[in-house]
Amino acid sequence: MSSISYKDAGVDIDAGNRFVDNIKPLVASTAVPGVLGGIGSFAGAFELPSGYTEPVMLAATDGVGTKLKLAIDSGIHDTVGVDLVAMCVNDLICNFGTPAFFLDYYATGKLHADVATAVVSGIAEGCRQSECALIGGETAEMPGMYAHDDYDLAGFAVGIAEKSELDRTARVSVGDTLIALPSSGIHSNGFSLARKVLFEKLQMHFDDAFNGAPLIETLLTPTRIYVKTFKALKPHIQALAHITGGGIVENLPRVLPEDMRAVIYENKIRTLPIFELIGEHVERAEMFRAFNMGVGMVLVVKPDDAAAVLAQSDGYLIGHIEAGEKAALMV
């Protein structure tokens, strides 16, 4: 009687082992003080840093959404890993957490070691930009769950914060200044809408010229990582909001007290060309709910600190805090 192997069932253990060998140097390139051991154990280990009075561990998890579909269809796999890290660490810093380490989950119908390695190369790049370590992950080959060329990503970041610094809402005051840090593009939110407009309504293609480059390059531009900027500006920041799904109007109120509102000068926002194109076919209010519109992070700072923040970053003024029911108002 003939026997059936795991490979016959669609799972290639040898390919998985080759993939692990491929990514060992990528993982090693992200090492930071605190990493204990290396890849291959059952769990990653990280030593708690010293210097904190009341250290608190923060955790954030996220994915890349339907931006992955563009990476899969275009065959460009080395940027979405940066997006994965960015979506997690940019959330951590909003609670004043300094990213310490990162883990990833990669699931696919059939493991192509070269594709998976390219994805992890992006994850490693994101970790280096975030000054955090990639200390582990999981690869799942699941035929029957995913089409052969499809894959999905999830990321998990852990950071350390001082307990007394966690509550940023309490530090926001009437009269504070709002400073926008530019996004690098669409980042990792709103791609279902973007794809519908660009590829269904406008019938565009990946290699169509847009703003001096193929359209796919604009769409796959990695999410900007703000960790180093946060570290440099930390003494001047009262609060900060990561502008993801929901846009400015839904994310900025998350850092406001109940009796204060953010007033945003809409004409000050430096909207990127890709949003101008999509916005020709989507209502303005819907654009601000679906996309970051060129603003990746909003900082709340004291008026006296605004000049220092502007001098040390590429940020620009977009509004202020005033008394009123919690909301973000476009004026």
pLDDT, one tens digit per residue, over 88-147 is: 999 999 999 999 999 999 999 999 999 999 999 999 999 999 999 999 999 999 988 888
Tokens 């654009």 correspond to: 287
CATH class of 13-165: alpha beta
CB 312 within 8 A of CB 237: no
DSSP helix/strand/coil, 321: strand
> What is 169-330's CATH number?
3.90.650.10
> Strands 328-330 and 260-264: what pairing?
parallel
The residue type found at 281 is: H
pLDDT at 181: 98
The model's pTM is 0.94
Q: Which of 16-25, 119-128, 285-294 has the lowest mean pLDDT?
A: 16-25
103 within 8 A of 156, measured Cβ to Cβ: yes
**pLDDT confidence band for 185 (50 / 70 / 90):** very high
Say if residues 218 and 227 touch (Cβ distance below 8 Å). Answer: no
Distance CA 215, CA 194 (A): 12
260-264 and 133-141 beta bridge pairing: unpaired
Instruction: Yes or no: say if 188 and 127 are a contact pair by the CB < 8 Å rule.
Output: no
- pLDDT over 90 at 18, yes or no: no
| Nearest-angstrom CA–CA distance, 79 and 31 | 20
Pinpoint the residues of the chain covered by CATH 3.30.1330.10. Answer: 13-165
Query: Using CA atoms in the order 263, 266, 270, 276, what is the torsion angle rounded to 10 degrees?
Result: 140
* Residue 226 phi, psi dihedral angles, 5° rounding: -105, 10
| Domain(s) of CATH 3.90.650.10: residues in the chain | 169-330
DSSP-assigned beta bridge partners for residue 62: 155
* Mean pLDDT score of the chain: 93
Angle of CA points 228, 231, 233, to nearest 5°: 110
